Amino acid sequence: MAWRPLVRLSMHGTPTPNTGSVARDHLANERTYLAWLRTGISVAAVGVAVAKFAPNRGANALVAGLILVIAGILVAAYGAVHYRTVERHLNEGVFIPASFGAIVIATVALMLGLVAVLVLI
């Protein structure tokens, strides 16, 4: 008897018939998720750079860097939640226009960035 794993792990979801624009919509959703993730990583990286390399700022640089890292994590987390939500809607065959979630997260990230700049001044 051949060994078979109890849990089958796969990097792929369940196959879906590619009728209409199913594949195109899912790939667009994935690209959008990757853009949110890339933006979150970039903001967090700037936070690390500020905390590490801001000259003569001491604790203020650490606080500003931490604020930017938190903003980056929030952006990436929102991207993941949004990706799953849109994926579920696509699988259900419904279209629900984007709510104000992206505006809220962008505003929060912007405000955190402004606070980080003010902390450094």
Q: pLDDT tens for residues 63-94?
A: 999 999 999 999 999 999 999 999 999 999 89
Position 121 confidence tier, pLDDT thresholds 50, 70, 90: confident
- How crowded is residue 118: how many other Cβ atoms within 10 Å of its Cβ? 11
Q: Residue 73's pLDDT is what?
A: 97
- How crowded is residue 36: how many other Cβ atoms within 10 Å of its Cβ? 20
Three-class secondary structure of residue 18 per DSSP: coil
Q: Residue 97's pLDDT is what?
A: 83
- How crowded is residue 57: how many other Cβ atoms within 10 Å of its Cβ? 17
Residue 51 has pLDDT above 80, yes or no: yes
- Give the whole-angstrom CA distance, residue 17 versus residue 39: 32
Closest residue by Cα to residue 87 from 34, 25, 8, 40: 25
Global pTM value: 0.81
Q: Residue 96's pLDDT is what?
A: 86
The token duo for 35 is 């853009």
Residue 7 has pLDDT above 80, yes or no: no
